[in-house]
Amino acid sequence: MDKITISDAVKKRIEDKIKGPAKLLLSYNDGVGPYSKVGSCSIGTAFDIIAVKPDEKTPDYGGKLDSDLGTFYYKPYSARYLDKGLKLDVGSFNQINLSGEGGVIDGSVNIIDDRNN
């Protein structure tokens, strides 16, 4: 698992929401680190796409995934939830799905621009 495929529809959503230079995080929302707002008692597996400043220090995000939009960084321990054949695509109710060979990992991925915080 070293690549993530992004559908054209999701690329457009990311590009519409995140304009200009950014470091992209595929953030496991587990309550750990400054970008995670949910605690570990949440039900299900939740990921967010978070844009931070390109030079932002993100020591919790040592994993890397290549994509057509550049590198996505993730928390290495969250790899246990990430499957081969990772893909971001539009799914049910027009939400962004993160899926792999085993099926949907998260059916409601948010895009968050955190560069001004």
Q: 22: closest CA among 76, 86, 79, 72?
A: 72
To the nearest 10°, report the CA torsion of 51, 34, 39, 17: -20
Mean pLDDT for 39-49 is 71
Residues 6-18: tens digit of each pLDDT: 999 999 999 999 9
Beta partners for residue 99, in sequence order: 87, 104
Q: What is the pLDDT of residues 69-84, one digit of tens each?
A: 999 999 999 999 998 9
* Average pLDDT, integer, range 54-78: 95
Domains and CATH numbers, the chain: 5-113 (2.60.300.12)
pLDDT at 34: 77
